[in-house]
Amino acid sequence: MIPRGFRFGAVRAGIKGPGRLDMGLLWCETPASAAGVFTRNRVVAAPVVLCRERVVRGTTRAVLVNAGNANACTGEAGLADARRLTAAAARELGVAPEEVLMCSTGVIGARLPVDRMEKAIPALRASLAEDPDPFARSILTTDRFPKISARSFRVEGREVCLVGVAKGAGMIRPDMGTMLAFLATDAAVEPPLLRQVLVQAVDRTFNRITVDGDTSTNDTVLLLAGGAAGVAPADAPGGLDALAEAVEGVCRDLARMIVADGEGATKVVEVRVVGAADEASALRIARTVAESPLVKTAIHGEDPNWGRIAAALGRSGAYGGGPFHIAVGGVEIVRDGLGLGLEAEAEAHRAMTGREFEIRITLDEGAGEAAVTTCDLSAEYVRINADYRS
């Protein structure tokens, strides 16, 4: 289910080592409306600087992506490298350099192997095809699997397609995690409206996951709308809602895949808070619990140690101090701030042996509700990150 007018490419440029796809290209046959959401980290990589600069034009033709090197903390030389590579891609594609965006992911602090990458660009263009899988594989770092999601919907009787590709497994606490995501649709959407749809979707999905609480220097989500479907959702009854629902659905799929692929992760857990003073308070509590190393290690050990959850609730700064209830995997283990005993905890432990479950915290302070999706913290996470540059 590939949006009309888009193609994907991937090559081995020698960035990550012999035999591994490490440079990708997303190409639109006609000028596409473009919108982007980027990391809130104050230390930003050169490609983020370049993307922010160019996406404000509102249109683009291509996105060049590399893995294995973040091109972050490389100064003016790193920005010059990004400009040189996008100019080389633009020449090969027959477009202006300003029509090519760039994203990078990998080790921070090293210059890109520009000469090798530039030589690979003709082969990258030749690799363009309708299959997004090689592109999805070319942007991976510590990921265990590629992440692709697609949706289709109808507007005025015409099918509109949307596809999304992402990477991410560690340094994940998107505050838009290291994460990149690229979405493309063949709907016709004006850039300001496209950005509105994207920002809303990112806030409800990528901004509500965590693997390790770290926000990357390179986080980027791009949404391109090529218009080849010949229909503008904003001009049709219900069309804009259908587009927004599809974009949010694809983002949610990709976000959950990122958590499931968390470095060393064996569990996917939704921390849901209900009855908080407001949504912002609920989100703050959920995020504090979801990012607690003590909670995450208890999840890994399948231990319903609710004291760790209660402690995170108490230090969140968004809890009013009244009664609280905790359920794990649908099993209530705390009521009115008091544990319900070993039998309840044993039942909760059985629920925690599964791959996915929910931690629900119920308060009586208002109508606020929010959820953050997290994973467990294992010894494998430490091994991966201790050896990352070795």
d(CA 388, CA 390): 6
Give the Cβ contact number of residue 130 at 10 Å.
10
Query: What's the token pair of residue 144?
Result: 């265990």
Q: Contact, 319 vs 337, CB < 8 A?
A: no
Element (H, E) at 356: strand 356-362
- Distinct helix (H) and strand (E) counts, the chain: 11, 14
Sign of CA dihedral 145, 150, 94, 233: negative
**First-to-last CA distance in the chain?**
39
Q: Which residues of 259-292 are buried (b: 16+ CB within 10 A; e: fewer)?
A: bbbbbbbebbbbbbbbbbbeeebbbbbbbbbbbb
Whether residue 220 lies in the annotated active site: no
CB within 8 Å of 51: residues ≥ 6 apart: 36, 38, 101, 102, 103, 220, 222
CB within 8 Å of 315: residues ≥ 6 apart: 288
Query: What's the token pair of residue 351?
Result: 């629920």
d(CA 96, CA 103): 17
From 39, 86, 141, 178, active-site residue: 178
Residues designated as active site: 178
